[in-house]
Amino acid sequence: MYNTNNTTNMPLAGKSGYCAQLKFSSLMQGLPDDLQQKLAAKGEAAEFRKNDALFLDGTAADHVFCVLDGKVKEYYTNNAGEECLRRIITRGHMVSLHHVFSGDTIYTYSCQALGLASCYFWKTETIRTMMQQEPELTMKVAQLLSGYMEESCRLHCICRKPQACARVAAYLLSKNNDKKEHGSGKRSRNMAIDISPLSLAARDICLARETFSRSLSRIQEMGYIRQNNGIIHLLNTDGLMELSGIQACTCGPEKEFF
């Protein structure tokens, strides 16, 4: 499974509290109650300490994860031995879901907890079997994968912006949209967004950590945000939209981009 010689993973004795958290995940939202119960019954919960591996590059791709709390990162190592960030996954989002369609038998990247994190997980084959029996689950998985592809396009578009402040503003709006979709359903003008650690957030949009921090400080001076140790409060989303220049984005209409 996900155990390695360098990690300590702790299966949880009780699942009831974690099932309650799972109910608000991207996978469960919109599914009938009976299907949610079936999914919860088929999975397990586990906790991971900081730097624990959910899985490693080259190991069997036999599990799908949902982050219930905390953050995890996907990464791979290039030929020079350098770690390259793939993406950061936050609460409510899925890890390695595409394997239910791809048929890949091994992971081609690694996944590691950034701090204390709890996850729900299923065997990949279990999800495949349930998808064959439950069309609503199949549509939900397809919808999630489509959304992840759109997110990848969004980040690529952000990385092409020539000005660092424009990139950071667009990134914050993107994260605010994620909060709206997986939170209360409303986009707040004073919503707290956790983008810590800043070093990984900077890599997410192809900026140096120092440049990212300077841009945040500049945007705060403009009165558009308030920041404190990676927690960002959006105070003026209209100003952020103007700064980000999203009208010039080629990904599609504004309402689709954010």
Cα 162-80-213 angle, rounded to 5 deg: 35
Q: What is the pLDDT of residues 4-24, one digit of tens each?
A: 333 344 444 456 678 888 988
In the numeric block, the tokens 């100003």 are attached to: 239
Task: Taking each helix axis as running N to C, give the angle between helix 124-133 and helix 33-42, from 0 to 180 degrees, rounded to the nearest 10.
Answer: 150
Task: Break the chain into its structural domains and give their ranges.
Answer: 9-147, 162-257
**Measured distance CA(142)–CA(131) in Å, rounded:** 10
CATH superfamily of 9-147: Jelly Rolls (2.60.120.10)
C-alpha distances out from residue 23 to 144, 172, 181, 256, Å: 15, 26, 14, 26
**Measured distance CA(195)–CA(97) in Å, rounded:** 23
Q: What is the number of residues in the chain?
A: 258
**Measured distance CA(97)–CA(26) in Å, rounded:** 12
**The pLDDT value given to residue 147:** 83
Cβ pair 63, 122 in contact under 8 A: yes
Task: Taking each helix axis as running N to C, give the angle between helix 164-182 and helix 135-159, from 0 to 180 degrees, rounded to the nearest 10.
Answer: 160
Say if residue 20 is exposed, middle or buried (CB neighbours under 10 Å; 0-12, 13-18, 19+). Answer: exposed
Asked if the domains at 9-147 and 162-257 fall in one CATH topology, the answer is no
Strand partners, 55: 111
Q: What is the pLDDT of residues 124-172, one digit of tens each?
A: 999 999 999 999 999 999 999 988 877 777 666 776 677 889 889 888 9
> What fold is seen in the domain 162-257?
Arc Repressor Mutant, subunit A (1.10.10)
State if pTM tops 0.85: no
**The pLDDT value given to residue 256:** 30
